[in-house]
Amino acid sequence: MPACAGLGGRWGEEGKENAMAAPLTPVQERLLAYLRRRLAEEGRTPSLREAAADLGVSHAAVARTLRALAAKGWLRREGRYGRTIALLRAAPPGAGRGREVPVVGRIAAGLPLYAQPEWEGCLVVDAAVFRGERLFALRVRGDSMRGAGILDGDLVVCEPRQYAENGEIVAALVRGEEATVKRFFLRPGHIELRPENPAHPVQRYGFGEVLVQGRVVGLVRPPAAAQPPREEEAR
């Protein structure tokens, strides 16, 4: 599995040189370590107000340091008002009990999801909870699995596997290109991918059209999808 990276693929020599040319200040290192710890312990990033209170600095100082970390390629801010934070570089060895799971970005046809050459970023999860090897994450689009508690924008964490038991929620490649998260059922003559929302139809495919890529073992809900941002976070 390739190392976690930001948009555009793996780190090359140029990225390493840029990192050495722009070292982190103590203030930036402190905020980055804090973000990693909060993500590992709670599966979410704090608001600017929470970070400012925890670190004993001003709201403006946190925002300024986040911009600096983003400019140096250590994180990416996304979602409404940029509250969702994706960490784009590996944590140093021994940096807490979190582990980084790559988030699948653009899909390269013909390759399994856990071996994709490009990642959207990294998701930090609790290593005590997510213990499998070669885990990967997939961002959910749409509400077809709402009945199973999987909402639009959620990140599902998957354990690589090329088979499934009937009724399991899996990540699958359809016709080698489209990734989907559905309940799997093997039927006589076809494979059934069943949503958990009556507004969406059951999907049926030939045996050669669906490749199971992994079993969903958990999810992380970005805070921007879980609740509306506070008023001060819009500034």
Question: Which residues carry out catalysis?
Answer: 144, 182
Phi, psi of 186 (to 5 degrees): -95, 120
Helix pair 48-55, 59-71: axis angle to 10 deg: 110
Burial of 21 (0-12, 13-18, 19+ CB in 10 A): exposed
Phi, psi of 142 (to 5 degrees): 95, 180
| Separation of alpha carbons 32 and 66, rounded Å | 9
- Cβ atoms of 96 and 85 closer than 8 Å: no
CB atoms within 10 A of CB 5: 23
| Separation of alpha carbons 111 and 104, rounded Å | 12
